[in-house]
C-alpha cells in the first residue's frame, strides 16, 4: 500500500510499523518515528498498524540553537 | 560554586548552540576548549538516502555533554508538543528547550501557544526551558504551568545586539528569585554575557555569536571566561553606579591643597 | 599574546588603582590574585611625625609591580609638571599618569592644561599616560605633543557608569591605530571592561570598582578574567550585530516545513 | 631661621638643604623634596642653599587611582 | 488633515486623561485651551451619601467632548467586560479603553486576559481601544479579535519615561499599517509625544504628564502643539539620521580652499 | 515670552540655516511660514563672471531677517578671524557664528583654536556665537573669553541623530545659568528640538533637518511649533520621570476593590 | 430583606429593582447598576427581581487616565 | 602688474585698490575684499596700495548652516 514517508510517497506491504520500517530499509539507530502526527515509541512499533495513506515522519538529530 | 540546573550539577553556566559552525570538528573543539557541559540540538527529517544523523551527530555524541533539544520553528503548542516527544525519543532526555515562534520577522515567542505547550509538557514530566520575552505576566504563567526555568531573550535571535532592555531583565530577576533564569537569544559579545551574569542571571545560552566568529573555538573560550567573570562579580558585590564623579585618590594631603579651597 | 606597553611587556592588560581599599592587605591580595602587573599610585605630604609612606607603601613595595604614579587633583600644567618630577624621585620611574582636572564636579580633564603639561613632560623624557576625554582634537594634540599612549574616560571618575559613549571611543580607536589606548575612569563592572577590550582597546585602568566591591579580591579576579575574555573576543573576530532576527537552527528539513511557506 | 615645611613653620639653622633636612630629623627613605615649587633631586641636597622663609615640601608615596 | 478615529473625525490627535488634576476647573481649562476633543474617564462606586458624579462630572459634561471610559484596575476579562457594560450605560458610548492589568508593580497589561476581553467586547459591538505592550503577537491577536485600534505603551503608566523602545514601536507601526495606533502610557514630555507622531503613530494618550505639571493648562497646550508638530513632520518627510557628519555650508568656494586639500 | 538674544528681542527661538534647500524660493517660503527671525549665512568667493551674491542673496535680503554669518570650514583662529571681518563687511553685523573645525570626519570643533578665535573676536566687539562641544572646561574658557552665548552640539553636524548625550547638555545648562545656550548641529527631528527646549536651552539652530525634508516649508513649521511646545513645557514645569509605574485612575472606589487587597 | 449595596448591607422591602432603588433613595441620574455581577440596563429595572442577599453595585462617573 | 584675484592671475595697472577693483570691473555691491589675508574696509579702498603679486580675495554672501 502507499504511505507518505518524510513527505515522499513510498510503497510498503506490511500491516505493522516495525515491518514497514524494515521494508523501507531505514537506519533507525538515532531516529524517532511519528505516525499521523503522533510520536510512536520504539517499544510500540510492532503493535502499531499501518493503513493506506498513512503519514510517516522519520526524524534524526540535527544541530540547533 | 557549582550550578544546580534542573536537578543536575554543572561547572559551566554557558550553554552553547550547535548550529552554523564551519564544521562538526570546529563545533566539538569549541565545546571542549570552553568546557561547556550543555549544548542545544534540534531534530530534522532523515535524508532520503536513509543515513542517520550525519557527521554532526557521530562526532557530537563523543563529547558526552548534556543535550537540550529545541522545538525551533514550531508555531503552535501542537507542533511543539509533538517535536518534544520526538526529541525525547531521539536524545533520551526529558529536557526540552521550548520555542514557539509567534512572528517570523522578529522570531519573537508566541506567549499564548508557549504557555499552552508548557502546561502540557510540564504535565508530561518534561523539564521545560521556555524561550520567552521579558514580559512578567507571561513569565508568571509559565512558572504557574510548572516551569522551574525561564529563558528570556536579550534581543532578537541571531541579532547579536546584546541586552537592549536591561531594566526589564533586571525586573524579571527580582520577581522570580526562586526560578532559574537563563538569557537566551541576542547575545553577541562576551561583554553581553558578563552583563547578564552581573544582573544575577543563572546562565547564558548562545549560538550565533560563537558559530559566526572568525575563530569559533577562541570565541567560545572568551564567552566561557566572560560568564565566569560576570558570575564572580555578581557574588563579589558590584559597586552601585553613581550619578556624578567621585575622586579615588585622596585629596587632603596633596601639597598644593592649601592654595586651593578643599 | 603579551602586551607591549611603553617598551615593557606584560601578561595582564588590567591596570589597578590602589586607593580606597579596606586595608593594604586586601589591596595586595587583590593585586596578587588578579595577577595585575601595573598599579597606579600617588604622592602626598609626609605626616608631621615624619613617618615615611605608612603601612600602605611597606606592603605594596613587596608586590614588585610596575608603578604608575598619577598627578591626581592637579589643575594646571605647572602643578602637574612639579608633581611628575616629585613622583619620578619617589617611585624611580619616568612613567606618569597625567591628570589635569578642569572641572571639580565632573572631574573632567582640562584639555588646554593637559596638552601643555604633556608637551613639557614628553620633552623631559617622561612616558606620559594622559587621562583625557574622547575628544579627537585633544587626542591629536596629545599625540602630537609626544604621547604614545592615550587614556580616554568611559564616564566620570568613580561613577561606575561604564562606557556611556561607545561610538566616540570606537572612533578614537579607529583614528589612532598606532597609539596604545587604555580606557581609564568610570568602569564599574567586568562587562564594561570586556566591552572596552572588544572594541580593540589595549588595556583598562580602574580603581573604585574593585576597591568598593564587597569582596575586592574576588572582584579583581572577575575584572582580570573579563579583560582576558574581551581581548580574546577581539582577536577571535566578533560577529557584527544585525538589525533583525536570524534563526540559528536550520529550517529546511523540519518535518512541518511543507505545511508552511518557507 | 624660619622655613615652611609641609605648610608648617619650622626652625632650622643650616645654610644648605642636606643639613636642614637632618636638622628636621625627617625619614627621607621614600621622600622627595620640593623647594619653593621646584623638585630638588637627592644628589643636589648638599649644594642647595636654604634662606629665610623658604617653602619646603616633603612628599611620600600614597595610594592613588 | 482631520483624524478619522473609530468612524468619527477629530482635529486633535491628543487624547487627555482626566485624573489627578488639582481641580475640575483646571481640568476643564486644560481641555479647552488644548482643544482636546477626546478624554478618558472611569467609573467608581457612588459615595454612600448618594450624590451622583460630584463636581468633576457636572463640569466635565459641559465641555462636550467625546468620552473614552476605561476599565482601569481590572485584572481579568470578566471584570473588564462587566466594567465595559456599566461604562456604556453611564457614558452612553460603545467606546471603551480596555485595560486588563497583569502586574501590579509595572501595571503591564495581561496579554491573555486582554485578548479574551477584546474578543468578547468586539463581538458585542464595542469599539475597543486596547492598552497593550509592543509585543507583535499580542497585537496580532487583538486585531484578529476585531480591534481596529491598538494602544501600545511607551513605558510604564505614570512613569513619564517616554518611549524606551522606539524600535519596537516602529516595528508595530510597520506591521499594522491599517490599524489606528495610539501611544498610551509613559509619555512624560511634549518631545515624547512629538517623537511618537514622527514615527507615524496616529495619536497620543496621556494623563499624568499634564495633570502633574506645575501649570497643567500650559502643559496641555504644549502637548497639543508637540503632537501637531510631530504629525506635520511625519507628513513632511523626515531626513534619515546619518552615521557621520555632513557639512551643510558648501565648501568649494571658501577662499582658503586652495591652501587645503578639498 | 520674548527672547532677548544678544541685546535684541525675538519672538521665535528657532534659528534656521539657509544651505542645501532645493531653491531660494523654498528657502524664503520656509523662513516666512515658520516665522523664523534669525538665519545663518556664509561667505564664498565671487564667481569669476563677477556676479554678486546670485539669486540666493537677492531673494533672502527681502525677508528682512537678522543674519548670523558663520565661519564654516575654518580650521584655525587666524582663518576664522579673517572670515569674521569679511562677514561683518558683507552682512553689516557684528554677530558671528564662530565655527573652527578640528576634525574633518566628525566636524568636531577645535577647542584650542575656537577659544583663541573667541578671545580675539570678543575683544574686537563681535557678538560671538561659538559652535562648541558639551565639554564644560571649553565652555568656561569661551565664557571667560567674553562669549555671552554658547552653542553646544547635539550630535555631529548634518547627522540628524538628535541629542545623543542629554546628561552632558543638561550639565551645561545647570553650570551656565546666565549664558544664552543654543543647541546647534545634529538636530534631525522636531522632537529633538522640543527636547532641547524642555531642558531649558534658550534656542535651537538647525539647517539640514529642514533643507533635506521632502517638504522643507512644512518641516520648518513643524520645528517652529516643536520649539514653542518645548519652551512652553519648560515654563509649565515638567513632571519628573519616575522609576516605576503609578496608576493615574484612582483605585479606592472601583467596585471590585474589596475582592482584592488594595 | 437584606441586600448589599456598594459593599454595605442595606434593608429593602421591594421585590423588583426599580422599587428597591427608589427605596434606597439613590440619585440615579448618571448611575449604572450591576446586580450579582451583571449590568442591568435602566429599561429592565422594573422586570428585574431582587432576592435576599443580592449584591448591588451603583456606579457613577469618575476621572480616569 | 599681475595680482591674484580669487586664485586667478589677473592684470591690473592701478596703484591703489579702488582703481584696481574698477579695472577688474567687479560688482562690489555685496562684496568684501581681503588683500594679502587682511580685510580692507570699503572706506580704505582708495588709500590701500597694490603691488605686484598681491593676493586679492573678493567675497560675497552664500547660504550657510
pLDDT of residue D53: 96
Q: Of F48, F53, F208, which has the smallest distance from its Cβ to H65's Cβ?
A: F208
B158-193 pLDDT, tens digit each: 999 999 999 999 999 999 999 999 999 999 999 999
Q: Which residue in chain D is spatially nearest to C57 when comparing CA positions?
A: D61
Burial of F55 (0-12, 13-18, 19+ CB in 10 A): exposed
Q: Interface partners of H (3+ CB pairs, < 8 Å)?
A: E, F
What band does C49 get if pLDDT is binned at 50, 70 and 90?
A: low
Looking at the predicted structure, is the pLDDT value of residue C116 above 90? yes
Looking at the predicted structure, is the pLDDT value of residue F261 above 50? no
Residue C204 pairs in a beta bridge with: C14, C183
Q: Which residue in chain C is spatially nearest to B207 when comparing CA positions?
A: C248
What's the complex ipTM?
A: 0.95
Chain C residue numbers with beta carbons less than 8 Å from the beta carbon of A59 are 255
Element (H, E) at F58: helix F55-61
- Distance, in Å, from the CA atom of C215 to the CA atom of C34, rounded to the nearest integer, reads 13
Percent of chain D with pLDDT over 70: 100
Percent of chain G with pLDDT over 90: 89
- Compute the radius of gyration of chain H from its Cα atoms: 11
Chain E residue numbers with beta carbons less than 8 Å from the beta carbon of G9 are none
3-state secondary structure C51-106: CCCCHHHHHHHCCCCEEEEECCCCCCHHHHHHHHHHHHHHHCCCEEEECCEEECCC
Chain D residue numbers with beta carbons less than 8 Å from the beta carbon of C43 are 32, 59-62, 64
Average pLDDT over residues F210-233: 98
A46-60 pLDDT, tens digit each: 999 999 999 999 999
pLDDT of residue F259: 56
Q: What is the DSSP string of chain E?
A: --EEETTEEES--EEEE-SS-S-HHHHHHHHHHHT--EEEEEEEEPPTT---S-HHHHHHHTT--EEEEB-TT--SHHHHHHHHHHHHHHH--SEEEE--EEETTTTEE-HHHHHHHHHHHHHTT-EEEEEE-S-HHHHHHHHHTT-SEEEE-SSSTT-----S-HHHHHHHHHH-TTSEEEEES---SHHHHHHHHHTT-SEEEESHHHHTSSSHHHHHHHHHHHHHHHHHHHHH-PPPP-SS---SS--TT-TTTTTS--
Across the interface, whether the CB atoms of E51 and G37 are under 8 A apart is answered no
Residues of chain H with pLDDT under 70: none
What band does A22 get if pLDDT is binned at 50, 70 and 90?
A: very high
Q: Of A57, A63, A64, which has the smallest distance from its Cβ to C255's Cβ?
A: A57
Average pLDDT over residues C226-241: 97
Burial of B246 (0-12, 13-18, 19+ CB in 10 A): middle
- CB-based contact (8 Å) between B115 and chain E? yes
- CB-based contact (8 Å) between D39 and chain C? yes
What band does B1 get if pLDDT is binned at 50, 70 and 90?
A: confident
Across the interface, whether the CB atoms of C102 and F165 are under 8 A apart is answered no
Average pLDDT over residues F49-65: 79
* Contacts with A, B 46-75, CB within 8 Å: 46, 48, 50-54, 56-57, 60, 69-70, 72
Chain E residue numbers with beta carbons less than 8 Å from the beta carbon of F162 are 241
- Distance, in Å, from the CA atom of F102 to the CA atom of A8, rounded to the nearest integer, reads 69
Contacts of E42 (CB under 8 A, 6+ apart): E19, E69, E70, E72, F249, F250, F254, G61, G62, G63, G64, G65
Q: Is D19 helix (H, G, I), strand (E, B) or coil?
A: helix
Residues of chain E with pLDDT under 70: 49-53, 252-262
Q: Which of F8, F51, F78, F97 is catalytic?
A: F97
- Of the candidates G18, G5, G14, which has an alpha carbon nearest to the alpha carbon of residue G58? G5
Q: Which residue in chain F is spatially nearest to G32 when comparing CA positions?
A: F255
Nearest Cα of chain B lies from the Cα of D15 at a distance, in angstroms, of 24
Looking at the predicted structure, is the pLDDT value of residue F81 above 60? yes
Across the interface, whether the CB atoms of E241 and F20 are under 8 A apart is answered no
- CB-based contact (8 Å) between H61 and chain E? no
Across the interface, whether the CB atoms of E250 and H63 are under 8 A apart is answered yes
Low-confidence winner among C97-101, D31-35, F55-59 (lowest mean pLDDT): F55-59
Residue C252 pairs in a beta bridge with: none
What band does B49 get if pLDDT is binned at 50, 70 and 90?
A: low
- Of the candidates E68, E41, E70, which has an alpha carbon nearest to the alpha carbon of residue E56? E41
Nearest Cα of chain A lies from the Cα of B55 at a distance, in angstroms, of 10
Q: Which residue in chain C is spatially nearest to D43 when comparing CA positions?
A: C89
Q: Which residue in chain G is spatially nearest to F259 when comparing CA positions?
A: G7
Q: Interface partners of B (3+ CB pairs, < 8 Å)?
A: A, C, D, E
**What is the model's pTM?**
0.95
- Return phi, psi of residue G31, to 5°: -95, 160
Looking at the predicted structure, is the pLDDT value of residue D43 above 80? yes
Nearest Cα of chain G lies from the Cα of E262 at a distance, in angstroms, of 58
pLDDT of residue C258: 57
Number of F to H CB contacts under 8 A, please give it.
Answer: 105
3-state secondary structure chain A: CEEEECCEEEECCCCEHHHHHHHCCCCCCCCEEEECCEEECHHHCCCCECCCCCEEEEEEEEECC
Q: Is C178 helix (H, G, I), strand (E, B) or coil?
A: coil
- CB-based contact (8 Å) between D8 and chain C? yes
Q: Of C111, C165, C167, which has the smallest distance from its Cβ to F111's Cβ?
A: C111
Spell B110-124 as b/e; 16+ CB within 10 A means b.
bbbbbbbbbbbbbee
Q: Of F214, F236, F249, which has the smallest distance from its Cβ to E42's Cβ?
A: F249
Q: Of B215, B235, B248, which has the smallest distance from its Cβ to C218's Cβ?
A: B235
Q: What is the mean pLDDT of chain C?
A: 94
pLDDT of residue C1: 79
Q: Of E194, E236, E245, which has the smallest distance from its Cβ to F214's Cβ?
A: E236
The HSE-up count of residue C29 (CA atoms within 13 Å, CB side) is 13
B8-37 pLDDT, tens digit each: 999 999 999 999 999 999 999 999 999 999
Burial of C261 (0-12, 13-18, 19+ CB in 10 A): exposed
Average pLDDT over residues C211-224: 98
pLDDT of residue F262: 40
Nearest Cα of chain A lies from the Cα of B192 at a distance, in angstroms, of 17
- Distance, in Å, from the CA atom of F164 to the CA atom of F153, rounded to the nearest integer, reads 10
Q: Which residue in chain B is spatially nearest to E133 when comparing CA positions?
A: B135
Across the interface, whether the CB atoms of F255 and G63 are under 8 A apart is answered no
pLDDT of residue B121: 98
- CB-based contact (8 Å) between A65 and chain B? yes
Q: What is the mean pLDDT of chain F?
A: 94
Q: What is the largest CA-CA distance in chain B?
A: 87
Q: Which of C11, C61, C78, C97 is catalytic?
A: C97
- CB-based contact (8 Å) between C259 and chain A? no
- Distance, in Å, from the CA atom of F262 to the CA atom of F256, rounded to the nearest integer, reads 10
Chains E, D in contact, 3 or more Cβ pairs below 8 Å: no
- CB-based contact (8 Å) between C97 and chain B? no
Average pLDDT over residues C207-211: 98
pLDDT of residue E261: 45
Q: Of B21, B42, B46, which has the smallest distance from its Cβ to A58's Cβ?
A: B46
Amino acid at each position: 500500500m502507499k504511505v507518505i514517508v518524510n513527505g515522499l510517497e513510498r510503497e510498503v506491504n506490511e500491516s505493522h510499523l516495525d515491518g514497514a520500517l524494515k521494508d523501507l530499509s531505514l537506519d533507525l539507530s538515532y531516529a524517532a518515528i511519528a505516525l499521523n502526527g503522533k510520536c510512536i515509541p520504539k517499544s510500540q512499533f510492532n503493535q502499531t498498524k499501518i493503513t493506506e495513506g498513512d503519514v510517516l515522519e522519520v526524524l534524526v538529530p540535527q544541530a540547533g540553537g | 560554586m557549582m550550578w544546580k540546573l534542573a536537578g543536575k550539577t554543572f561547572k559551566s553556566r554557558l550553554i552553547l548552540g550547535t548550529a552554523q559552525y564551519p564544521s562538526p570538528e570546529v563545533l566539538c573543539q569549541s565545546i571542549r576548549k570552553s568546557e561547556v557541559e550543555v549544548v542545544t540540538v534540534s531534530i530534522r527529517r532523515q535524508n532520503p538516502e536513509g543515513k542517520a544523523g550525519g557527521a554532526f551527530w557521530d562526532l557530537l555524541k563523543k563529547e558526552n555533554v548534556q543535550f537540550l533539544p529545541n522545538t525551533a520553528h514550531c508555531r503552535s503548542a501542537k507542533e511543539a508538543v509533538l517535536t518534544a516527544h520526538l526529541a525525547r525519543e531521539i536524545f533520551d532526555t526529558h529536557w526540552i528547550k521550548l520555542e514557539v515562534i509567534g512572528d517570523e520577522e522578529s522570531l519573537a515567542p508566541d506567549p499564548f501557544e508557549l504557555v499552552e505547550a508548557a502546561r502540557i509538557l510540564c504535565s508530561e514530566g518534561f523539564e521545560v526551558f521556555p524561550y520567552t520575552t521579558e514580559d512578567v505576566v507571561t513569565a508568571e504563567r509559565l512558572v504557574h504551568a510548572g516551569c522551574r526555568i525561564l529563558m528570556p531573550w536579550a534581543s532578537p535571535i541571531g541579532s547579536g545586539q546584546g541586552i537592549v532592555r536591561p531594566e526589564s531583565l533586571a525586573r524579571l530577576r527580582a520577581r522570580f528569585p526562586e526560578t532559574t533564569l537563563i538569557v537566551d537569544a541576542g547575545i553577541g559579545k562576551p561583554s553581553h554575557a558578563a552583563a547578564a551574569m552581573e544582573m544575577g542571571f543563572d546562565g547564558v545560552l548562545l549560538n550565533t555569536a560563537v558559530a559566526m566568529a572568525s575563530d569559533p573555538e577562541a570565541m567560545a573560550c572568551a564567552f566561557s571566561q566572560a560568564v565566569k567573570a560576570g558570575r564572580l562579580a555578581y557574588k563579589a558585590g558590584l559597586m552601585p553606579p553613581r550619578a556624578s564623579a567621585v575622586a579615588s585618590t585622596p585629596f587632603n594631603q596633596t601639597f598644593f591643597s592649601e592654595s586651593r579651597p578643599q
